[in-house]
A and B are shown apart, each in its own frame.
Chain A
């Protein structure tokens, strides 16, 4: 287990390093001189342009530029946003809670929806509850999140004269206002994420239900409820947890759209603003952060296998 943990950790660090290198490389190969674009918009003179170029490290060879960026990033300094001159690291810390709250609430709601649906679908296989659950799941897969969110916000205002309170409030400042703002995006997000989760849980459960040990357990007289609780659900937990890990990037990507429509000042909006301002320092930092969050989640998922499944603990 120790060796396995160390190996996974090293791989995660290596992957994050590779990602930083690629992202920095892509940003450096941007077509056109980013300084020229910025200078044209801010009416810089040549001396100011030189200073900006120097400051951004664009004169230095790529490896030197990347080395500096990496050393600073490891100390939590991701540079300053070109437009606002604010620290990108600080901005991200201030915004990450919005995105994470949305992501976690969405995943929790998705789990609350998908676990009963998945269980019913697997136990009632090929009967109407199964078809109903599967239809709901495919519906959820196929509805574009931004469409659902727009419909909800517009028709919420029209039919229920309800709209989320304006001006985002953090959960520790004004929990009630925060939840009033968050419940609808989280619910819609959860509905959409529930699609994949229901399908995976159903497949995983069906897989377990087919196993010989289920027949043995039934033969020795275990009740159906015990069978489900003690054997089926526990054994289908691994693929289910894996899905949450695999879905995490989808969650972070989808969050961009929900943040935009519900005006939640999260990392997604920060990325969109950075893109609109052609601020490659912001875009670079957000991409590395998001990739880091995904890698961390997958690491946690991998490690949790060891706790959930004694077989994995022993074999590694």
Chain B
């Protein structure tokens, strides 16, 4: 009995110490990089609000209430109401869930595929590399927005298709970055050493090249989150993205908000601000990550 108490105490002690250490480390990071931390907090709030929209939102996003239509921001409707009397705050939260959901999934998909293809292409070289480079040339020749509206308009405007198409639009740049990283890592002496002791190519790619090529890929992935939000918003604004009545930031800025923009500017301000803050945050965090991974570049870019 006594020994078990002793054991649990000795386990608990380092854990408490760890928590304090984490706290101190966190405090140092916040003091050293106040702005990226603030931005991360903003992004966290936007993400939490969107993710927990079901619990936080004061109203039903699609509940039409003509009696309360086009109200300015007030204590009942914090961000006002739209032309159908729907609560704008609620719709901004649900819109965020749609926008962030689409962009995070599409970036995850695009970056994972691009990393796999880019690393193998850069590590193997030869005909596969030539083929991949030609495919990248083709992908890079299409503006992201043009690919997305051309494909969603014909293949239907489902959310899963939107995710795949945005991922395709990000593929070219992602492959280029990861391929360059693989080539750079591949020329290091430790890769040659691994090869000399008989490591197979798949093992070298997964165990040595992937971890060492990860920093630039993470930086580009963060930047792409912003790009994907902007693509999704533009496509939804044009009417080929997330379909009404579902809320999305881009669609909320579309035709209806434009009609009411002068008299009811809040309809355009809140979703626009949400897009701006989210993309801004992703860019700042991307810059901070790059500085952290590559101190030589600190403060550049």
> Which residues of A approach B to under 8 Å, CB–CB?
11, 14-16, 18-19, 22, 26-27, 30-31, 125-126, 130, 138-139, 141-147, 150-151, 154-155, 157-158, 199-200, 202-203, 206-207, 249-250, 252-254, 256-257, 260, 271-272, 275-276, 278, 280, 283, 286-287, 290-291, 294-295, 298
Contact = CB atoms under 8 A, between A and B. Distances in A.
Given A206-B300, A271-B149, A138 B143 contact: no
A190 to B, nearest CB: 17
Interface string B271-292: 0100111011001100100000
The interface residues of chain A, by DSSP majority, are classed as helix
Contact of B154 (A150, A158, A278): A278
A151 B233 CA distance: 16
B301 A22 contact: no
B150 interface: yes
Main SS of the interface on chain B?
Answer: helix
Interface stretch (B53-61, B210-218, B234-242): B234-242
Kindly name the residue among B138, B146, B234 whose own CB sees the greatest number of chain A CB atoms within 10 A: B146
Nearest to B169: A253
B284 A138 contact: yes
A142 B276 contact: yes
Interface residues on B, range: 35 or more
B66 to A, nearest CB: 25
Contacts of A280: 154
29 contacts: A19-B138, A19-B142, A31-B156, A130-B299, A142-B280, A142-B283, A143-B276, A144-B233, A144-B253, A144-B276, A150-B253, A151-B268, A249-B140, A249-B141, A250-B144, A252-B143, A254-B143, A256-B238, A257-B234, A257-B237, A275-B150, A275-B154, A275-B240, A278-B154, A287-B150, A290-B142, A290-B143, A291-B142, A294-B141
A202 B272 contact: no
Contact of A15 (B134, B253, B300): B134
